[in-house]
Amino acid sequence: MPYLLFISSKEHSNFSFSDFLEGIPSTRHSRRSFNDFYCTAFELENQLENDDLKKIKQTSSKYNLDVLYIQHFLSSEKPTFFAFDMDSTLINQEVIDEIAKFNEVYDEVARVTEMAMQGEMDFDTALRERCKFLKDIRIESLDLLYQKLSLQWGVREFLAEISLFPHKKVILSGGFTQILKRFAREYGFDSFRANVLEVIDGKLTGNLLGEIVNQKLKQEAFLSLYKEFGVEKSQTVALGDGSNDFNMLSEAEFGIGFHPKEGLKKKLVNCLEHSPMYAILFLFEKEGWND
């Protein structure tokens, strides 16, 4: 049976979510809270029509509520594979834009970044064009930049919680290994894929080394890694915010846009737009839920 999950802040903790389900056969399955957010889940007797789901989401959005439509919950008894985009998903920044500040070309690079994230420009072309602006920046500047990176809403709590269990977590990013290697080590990720900036004589050349981590490579890495870790397909979750993440999200059992750009949002069934990342914990089955 499918389920609808209504995720709300404390402000709407007593909201009558059943009002959104008028005419749709359902029963309240459970209710759970984590920190200051709540999830009320309803079990549906039938699959939802697209128009019904669209209507429910439009109404919920007026109250800053997120709605997830899922076919089953994650098992708490099995390991789960989590794949994340990095920039604007795990962290608030777009790293390449921040690097560009060292050459005082932030606006030029940020403009191309936004076009790429909205799907208005081919990712590979956009990345190579932006990297040209980074020429002659000293590699030490990336150490300074790393210190300024900040985690997205709810990421710290989410990573701390899933690290208590034998779950696997990886980063599949169009960013750069010079940043990702350090981040993955600090937060205990099991693996990562990212692009490599060429460095000669301690300076960025404006070029990339090797294959670009684009939408296709993210998809391939997702498929190979969850199998390599021996995780069941039904226990896979992917989170991202840009068009470059679509294929990866499509391969996951639970592919969710996290505060997604419009270009990605319109392609997805499930997005979190008003909730922190730890709302993903509500995907786990009823054990531990508070009715």
Model pLDDT for residues 72-105, shown as the tens digit of each residue: 999 999 999 999 999 999 999 999 999 999 999 9
Under CATH, which architecture does the 1-71 domain have?
2-Layer Sandwich (3.30)
CATH 3.30.70.260 region(s) of the chain?
1-71
Question: How far is residue 161's CA from residue 186's CA, in Å, rounded to a whole number?
Answer: 15
**Which segments of the chain belong to CATH 3.40.50.1000?**
75-291
- The pLDDT value given to residue 31: 85
Task: Report, as residue numbers or ranges, the catalytic residues.
Answer: 85, 87
pLDDT band at 289 (very low <50, low <70, confident <90, very high): very low
CATH 3.40.50.1000 fits 75-291, yes or no: yes
Q: Give 175-214 pLDDT, tens digit per residue.
A: 999 999 999 999 999 999 999 999 999 999 999 999 999 9
- Please report the pLDDT score of residue 291 as a whole number: 42
pLDDT of residue 12: 65
